[in-house]
Amino acid sequence: MGHVGHGKSTLIGRLFHDLGALPPGKIEAIQAMCERRGMPFEWAFLLDALQAERDQRITIETAQIWLRDRDRDIIFIDAPGHKEFLRNMVTGAAGADAALLVIDAGAGVEEQSRRHGYLLHFLGLRQVAVAVTKTDLAGYDKTRFAEVASVITSHLANIGLDISAIVPVSARQGENVVAQAKTMGWYRGPTLIEAIRGFKPLPSLRDLPLRLAIQDVYNFDQRRILVGRVEAGSFNVGDRLLFSPANSEARVVSIETWPHPRPDAAPPLTEAAAGQSVGITLDRPLFIERGALASHPERAPLETEVFRARLFWLGREPLAAGARLDMKILAARAHVTLEAIERVIDPGELDPLTGNAVPRHAE
Ligand code: GTP
Ligand code: MG
């Protein structure tokens, strides 16, 4: 993440190249396209594949790109920096375990650098590294790097985020991306790939309490099958499940999968875990609807009608107390009323705004 045009897509493209992770012919294809367009080689085109993105030289959609690195898989989510696409950036970042904030050494910390920094914290991301890029354009200057590093460190510290590393890089020249820079002998820290390898995977969703979101109920050759997705945790045939909000319990008799029977003639599943979509049959005919949530009774969710939330407001209209909203919770929909707004923060400024309405995010 980071401000528009600061070099995010370029950096990812370069990283994949330097790790030898690009498919054969890819560089040649980009080279040919840049020549057709009469422009210098553009690493960002590896990520920016849409026509409009290449014409306007900005990222619009988040792109995901997958890397097999040593003993683990890393998925890079390249977010757009343009403020018009903040929504795409939030959606992309919401699924991440760690963040890399990219800052142009020459331009320094700008509005979206600050705003994205704040959003990291808001989205619950706690592992953050910073790449200060385009150092080639800033003469690989130590003092300039130190200035940018100090501004972003204090900004993120104010938000409550620690930075694991701040790496001066040049994506264009491949300095400190994978290979250690010869041009920045004054820097002693990790290269970018080392900083990324330092991120720890978050605890698996499988280890959390069971949350099975019921999406539908089928009546199928005399059997009643509840279909849903395991959002977190796991369960076994024979487990007693609690269904909320009906507050009824039953035991799992079978776990059904499709196609049926399974094509490889594998035995029926006895366990299902986070990420799987399954059907289940129960030992009792409960009345359950789409939107119900199944859990283990001893680790049940807290039920409430009133709650406090942190809300990221992207609506076209301002948000004010009394607003009636539709809320989607997994497969359920609910009508809710906003009772009160306690605090409003403009993520670009960090200072609390006065008043009890949330304006449309600043243009
Ligand atoms: P958005 O996704 O639109 O926010 O932009 P971005 O952050 O992905 O920036 P992008 O990678 O598209 O780079 C913007 C421009 O900066 C491109 O023309 C790049 O070639 C140039 N650029 C990126 N990194 C470097 C670098 O290390 N050195 C130099 N000289 N130019 C760079
Ligand atoms: Mg980009």
What are the pLDDT digits (tens) for 206-261? 999 999 999 999 987 788 999 999 999 999 999 999 999 999 999 999 998 876 66
Which tops the pLDDT comparison, 227 or 265? 227
CA of 10 to the centre of ligand 1 (A): 5
Nearest CA to ligand 1 atom 28: 134
Is residue 354's pLDDT more than 70? Answer: no
Which tops the pLDDT comparison, 352 or 277? 277
Please indicate whether residue 168, judged by its CB atom, sits closer than 6 Å to ligand 1: no
* pLDDT given at position 353: 63
CA of 9 to the centre of ligand 1 (A): 7
pLDDT band at 362 (very low <50, low <70, confident <90, very high): very low
CA of 192, nearest ligand number: 1
* pLDDT given at position 282: 96
Please indicate whether residue 104, judged by its CB atom, sits closer than 6 Å to ligand 1: no
Read off the pLDDT of residues 280-304 as tens digits, 9 standing for 90 and up: 999 998 999 999 999 999 999 999 9
**Cβ proximity of 245 and 303 under 8 Å:** yes
CA of 208 to the centre of ligand 1 (A): 39
pLDDT averaged over the chain?
A: 90
* pLDDT given at position 154: 93
Is residue 183's pLDDT more than 80? Answer: yes
Is residue 350's pLDDT more than 60? Answer: no
Cis ω before 80 (30° cut-off from 0):
no
CA of 44 to the centre of ligand 1 (A): 7
CA of 347 to the centre of ligand 2 (A): 21
Is residue 349's pLDDT more than 80? Answer: no
Residue range 73-100: mean pLDDT, rounded: 86
Please indicate whether residue 116, judged by its CB atom, sits closer than 6 Å to ligand 1: no
Is residue 13's pLDDT more than 50? Answer: yes
Q: Which of 1, 9, 10 is the pocket-test mutation for ligand 1 (most atoms within 8 Å of CB)?
A: 10
pLDDT band at 151 (very low <50, low <70, confident <90, very high): very high
CA of 26 to the centre of ligand 2 (A): 18
Is residue 79's pLDDT more than 90? Answer: no
Please indicate whether residue 42, judged by its CB atom, sits closer than 6 Å to ligand 1: yes
By percentage, how much of the chain surpasses pLDDT 70? 94
CA of 13, nearest ligand number: 1
By percentage, how much of the chain surpasses pLDDT 90? 63
Residue range 49-78: mean pLDDT, rounded: 86
Whole-structure pTM value: 0.79
